[in-house]
Copies of this chain bind each other. A is one copy, B any other.
Amino acid sequence: MGNLNREALSLYLVTDRTLSLGQPLPEIVRGAVRGGTTMVQLREKSCDTREFVELGRALHEMLQPAGIPLIVNDRADIAQVIGAEGVHIGQHDMAYADARRLLGPEAIIGLSVENDEQARECRSFAGLDYIAASPVFATPTKTDTATALGLKGVQHLRQVVGPALPMVAIGGVNRTNIPAILRSGADGVAVVSAICSAPSPEAAARELGAAIKQAKP
């Protein structure tokens, strides 16, 4: 179990430079943080390792003073090298047990969960910090994802994993559907294009954050 504060999952930005409309990623993240983003995942699927490390270091230097955890998608080595707070793994990434053994008990480790079977399986993953129910709604961001869960799917995953495991929902999140998503049992939402593709990431984050605050009791 890493050092994850459940509140940090409220508004979780997952980066995607291919969707960032020409804005440099550090600028997007800076704006998102000003707007109230509570956690950031650096996801890079095609850049080389050197660039990934440099980008990760730049983001970590920005986020650490703000107390915002930086999570690296898939690459545990890059997380270690830059001193990131943890990794996010998908079902085709390293196995959870391998990632935990490698990174130790302090690291935050999150896992994408797309269906019932994966939700049942992750109940045995000692120390797992959070799951990302994925995708809630159909989304243009990822083309390799499973069928959309829908709100009922999120509710169901919450029942399967129990109340203790922190859970974010990702996929097609916007400020309109945030209240329903949170009512379905998610502790927060993860967004990609809602912030990365926004003309003002800061304003977008602020609007999403307001919707979250309003929805949470």
Which positions in A face B, CB cutoff 8 Å?
48-51, 53, 74-78, 80-81, 89, 91-95, 98, 101-102
- Our pick among B48, B81, B95, B101 for the contact of A102 (Cβ within 8 Å) is B81
Total copies of this chain within the assembly = 2
A80 and B77 CA atoms in complex are apart in Å by: 9
Cα-based distance from A217 to B57 in the complex (angstroms) = 48
Contact B92 A48, beta carbon cutoff 8 Å: yes
Query: A49, B94: Cβ atoms under 8 Å?
Result: yes
Specify which of A77, A81, A98, A102 lies most central, judged by the most chain B CB atoms within 10 Å of its CB.
A77
B53 touches A81 (CB 8 A): no
Expressed in whole angstroms, the Cα–Cα distance for A91 and B48 within the complex equals: 10
How long is the Cα–Cα vector from A122 to B81 in the complex, in angstroms? Answer: 20
Q: What residues of B have a CB within 8 angstroms of the CB of A91 in the complex?
A: 50
Across-interface contacts of A95 in B (CB, < 8 A): 50, 53
Q: Are A51 and B98 in contact (CB under 8 A)?
A: no
B residues in contact with A74, CB < 8 Å: 49
CB-defined contacts of A80 to chain B, threshold 8 Å: 76-77, 102
Q: How far is the CA of A95 from the CA of B81 in the complex (A)?
A: 10
6 nearest CB pairs, A to B = A77-B77, A76-B77, A48-B92, A49-B93, A81-B98, A50-B92
